[in-house]
Amino acid sequence: MPENYSFTTHWYVEAPLEKVWETIYKSEEWPRWWKGVKSVTETEKGDERGIGSIRIYRLRSPMFYTLSFKLLLTDRVEYKYLLGNASGELEGTGAWHFEEQGEITYVQCHWHVHTNIKWMNAFAFLLKPIFRYNHGKVMQWGAESLAKKLNAEVR
In a domain, 136, yes or no: yes
Is residue 69 a contact partner of residue 90, using CB atoms and an 8 Å limit? yes
**What pLDDT, in 10s, does the model give residues 124-155?**
999 999 999 999 999 999 999 999 999 999 99
In a domain, 44, yes or no: yes
**Domain at 95, CATH number:** 3.30.530.20
Task: Give the chain's domain count.
Answer: 1
**What pLDDT, in 10s, does the model give residues 84-128?**
999 999 999 999 999 999 999 999 999 999 999 999 999 999 999
- Alpha-carbon distance of 31 to 134, in angstroms, equals 17
Percentage of residues in the chain having pLDDT higher than 90: 96
pLDDT at 120: 95
- Alpha-carbon distance of 50 to 72, in angstroms, equals 10
In a domain, 128, yes or no: yes
In a domain, 108, yes or no: yes
Domain with 76 in it: 4-150
For range 10-38, the mean pLDDT: 98
Is residue 62 a contact partner of residue 140, using CB atoms and an 8 Å limit? no
In a domain, 32, yes or no: yes
**What pLDDT, in 10s, does the model give residues 30-87?**
999 999 999 999 999 999 999 999 999 999 999 989 999 999 999 999 999 999 999 9
For range 12-34, the mean pLDDT: 98
Per the prediction, the chain carries an average pLDDT of: 97
In a domain, 106, yes or no: yes
pLDDT band, very low/low/confident/very high, at 17 (cuts 50, 70, 90): very high
Question: Which helix H or strand E contains 143, and what residues bound it?
Answer: helix 124-150
Please, is 38 exposed, middle or buried when counting C-beta atoms within 10 Å of its C-beta (0-12, 13-18, 19+)? Answer: middle
- Crossing angle of the two packed helices 17-25 and 124-150, in degrees rounded to 10: 130
In a domain, 155, yes or no: no
pLDDT at residue 1 greater than cutoff 90: no
pLDDT at 64: 86
pTM of the model: 0.95
In a domain, 11, yes or no: yes
